[in-house]
Amino acid sequence: MADTWVGATAKQIARAVRRGDTSATQVVADHLDYLTSTDPVVAAFRTVRAAEAAAEAEKVDDQTDMGSLPLAGVPIAVKENTPVAGLPTWHGSAGARQAVAEEDHELVRRLRGAGAVVIGTTRMSEMGLWGVTDDDSATTRNPWALDRTPGGSSGGSAAAVAAGLVPIAHANDGLGSIRIPAACCGLIGLKPGRGVLPVNLGADDWFGLVEHGVLATTVADAALGHAVLAGRTPQPLSQPGRLRIAVSLRSPVAGASADEANRAAVSNATRLLAECGHDTLTADPVYPTSLGLRGLATWFAAGYRDAEAAKVDRRSLQKRSRRLIAAGGVAWRRGLVREQDRTEFRERSLGFFVEHGVDLLLTPVLTGPPLRAAAWHRRGWLSNVASQVRNAPFAAPWNITGFPALTLPVGVRPDGLPAAVQLVGPPGTELLLLAVAGQLELAAPWRRHAPGFPRPN
């Protein structure tokens, strides 16, 4: 029996609990004890359910059919914009906080039904609008380098997993909010394609752009979490056959190109794919010149519609969010956000895979290192928008298309921060993306947690 279960994978924990090698009560106690000492360093959690989680772990231990619980006793965190019964739904700040939820979101029910124990909710940027995670109460920090952001909007979930506070965490992604934090923190992060998982965020799903998923340290854990969220029985990933994979460094945003370290990450991943038996070729998706402007309008208008639907008092929001929402109202009223534009880009992107005869697309995720951890909420909205668009332009197009996309680590940058790439596939390729990521993990295993984590108690 391990001295502590902190740092173990979700699969290892669930297997041990099902076999009786440990108890859910012990596993949860280990993680709560570690969280108490370590979360003040990274500020990943908004709310910790210590007493409730301990009681729920006991209920897992009392289950008579433990074999039916794929996440038996696994401590998990839920992003704070997703209802957890008995907790306020914070949406990233006190100003955006909503009432105490009377019942769990469907995905939280599925996690609990699989035996997971929700130990708390993780911090995010206000209303999920920003690619950094901070508010008046705290700045969430990247365990790889505490002066760097873990990204956003699912920054708290990413920091929690990278620091070993939980083995996996729930997240969601409207313009990169799973994949950007995964890249910042050296994690696996899958954004499923449209319609694979229920959304139901309560106010708005950002014109169909938002998808739920998990952040994990291994492909096996990511696949397990995805299966549970999708309501499927977890199965081993099948080995993919020989694939044709397009490789592109082209940025969707003019003037926002990948730096040498991110280009090297793509080159390294390309080499590994070839060693795994796949064919690679250089081919660039077509990003229309209007995509950037339409994408910005959609981002802003999503914030506006969220605020309207949730009846948020805008005066209580951060200044940067108020300005973005105001711009979104203008974009919405002027008809700058059109389903037709998203449909045309989706069809053009489908054509890319067909015309080039490729199965998947490989791109960077970030253009440079993660942004500095700072009080971004006190800076101007244009400064926030410009910095974050330049830092992470590669994720958003695949929300607009609704295609599945995955971030995976590929070593370490020269500055000591994690290197990462993005794999994108046409609709229905979630398991294929995970299978290819599994091949790369086997060929070049990555560090599962940030250096120095989990920290000794």
Closest C-alpha among 326, 319, 418 to residue 375: 319
**Residue 142 forms beta bridges with which residues?**
145
| DSSP assignment string, 383-446 | HHHHHHHHH--SSTHHHHHT--EEEEEEEE-TTSSEEEEEEE-STT-HHHHHHHHHHHHHHS--
Residues 6+ apart with CB under 8 A from 423: 360, 361, 362, 405, 406, 408, 433, 436, 437
* Catalytic, out of 177, 248, 251, 349: 177
79 labelled catalytic: yes
**Residue 61 forms beta bridges with which residues?**
none
Residues 6+ apart with CB under 8 A from 88: 47, 97, 98, 99, 100, 101
Query: Running DSSP on this structure, what letter comes out for residue 107?
Result: H
Handedness of CA 450, 452, 456, 457 (dihedral sign): negative
Task: Tell me: cis bond preceding 316? Omega within 30 of 0 counts.
Answer: no
Angle between helices 24-42 and 155-162 (to 10 degrees): 110
Q: Which residue has the tokens 């289950």?
A: 63
Q: How far is Cα 150 from Cα 146, in angstroms, rounded to an integer?
A: 9
* Catalytic, out of 11, 79, 125, 248: 79
Closest C-alpha among 124, 127, 159, 157 to residue 141: 159
Q: Which residue has the tokens 């911090």?
A: 123
* Catalytic, out of 93, 153, 157, 321: 153
CB 10 within 8 A of CB 167: yes
Backbone φ and ψ of 33, nearest 5°: -65, -45
Q: How far is Cα 41 from Cα 33, in angstroms, rounded to an integer?
A: 14
153 labelled catalytic: yes
23 labelled catalytic: no
Closest C-alpha among 213, 215, 279 to residue 247: 279
Q: How far is Cα 126 from Cα 288, in angstroms, rounded to an integer?
A: 30
**Residue 412 forms beta bridges with which residues?**
418
CB 44 within 8 A of CB 121: no
CB 82 within 8 A of CB 69: no
Q: Which residues are identified as catalytic?
A: 79, 153, 177
